[in-house]
């Protein structure tokens, strides 16, 4: 069974590396870029959906997003500039 599980994990890794074009971590992209050159919309989509569905920007107030992005910075290991870019994106969309 252990072998089977590892086989499935390996298969997943192989499929991913085979079919998924590795793209960069939301540096310069086609979306709206913040002052620090981060494509915030793309980063937001990449980072949040890794674990859960994204919530509409209107779900929380700007002030609440300040708190929540601080929390997610710690939990999701975001950098400071990335956190700031996502926060500004959410405020713009709110």
Partner 1 sequence: MPIPLTLPTARIALAASVATLILSSPLSLRAADAGISRAEFLEMKREMAELRGEVKELRAEKAARQSSASSPALRGSSSALAALNQRIDEIANVADLSKPGENKMVITGSGSTTFTARNHDSSNFSATFAPVLLWHLGEKLLFESEVEFELDGSDTALNLEYAQLTYTLNDYMTLGAGKFLAPMSAFIERYEPKWINKLPDTPLAIYDGILPEGNVGVQLRGVIPAGPTRINYSTYVSNAPRLITTDPEAAGQLSFNNYTSLNDNKAVGGRVGFLPCPNFEVGYGVQYSRVRGDEGGKSVGALLQAVDMSTYLEAAKGRFTLLGEYAWSHLGNRAYDTGGGPFTFDNKRQGGYVQLSYRAKQFESDVLNRFEIVARADRSQAPHDAPGAFDERRLTFGLDYWVTGSTVVKAAYEIDHRDNGQPNGNAFLIGVATGL
In three-state secondary structure terms, 4 is helix
Q: List beta partners, residue 39.
A: 33
Please say which residue, 67 or 92, places its beta carbon nearer to partner 1.
67
| Neighbouring C-beta atoms of residue 93, cutoff 10 Å | 13
Please say which residue, 7 or 92, places its beta carbon nearer to partner 1.
7
Least Å from the CB of residue 38 to partner 1: 11
Q: What is the Cα–Cα distance from 27 to 84, expressed in whole angstroms?
A: 14
Q: How far is CA 49 from the centre of its chain?
A: 6
Interface with partner 1 by CB under 8 A: which residues?
A: 1-2, 4-6, 8-9, 12-13, 15-17, 19-20, 22-26, 46-47, 49-56, 60-61, 63-68, 70-71, 73-75, 77-81
Least Å from the CB of residue 53 to partner 1: 4
């Amino acid at each position: 069974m252990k072998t089977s599980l590892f086989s499935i994990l390996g298969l997943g890794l192989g499929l991913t590396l085979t079919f998924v074009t590795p793209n960069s971590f939301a540096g310069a992209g086609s979306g709206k870029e913040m002052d620090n050159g981060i494509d915030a919309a793309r980063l937001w989509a990449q980072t949040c959906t890794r674990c859960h569905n994204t919530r509409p920007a209107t779900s929380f107030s700007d002030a609440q997003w300040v708190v929540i992005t601080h929390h997610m910075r710690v939990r999701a290991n975001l950098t400071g500039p990335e956190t700031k870019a996502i926060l500004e994106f959410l405020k713009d969309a709110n």
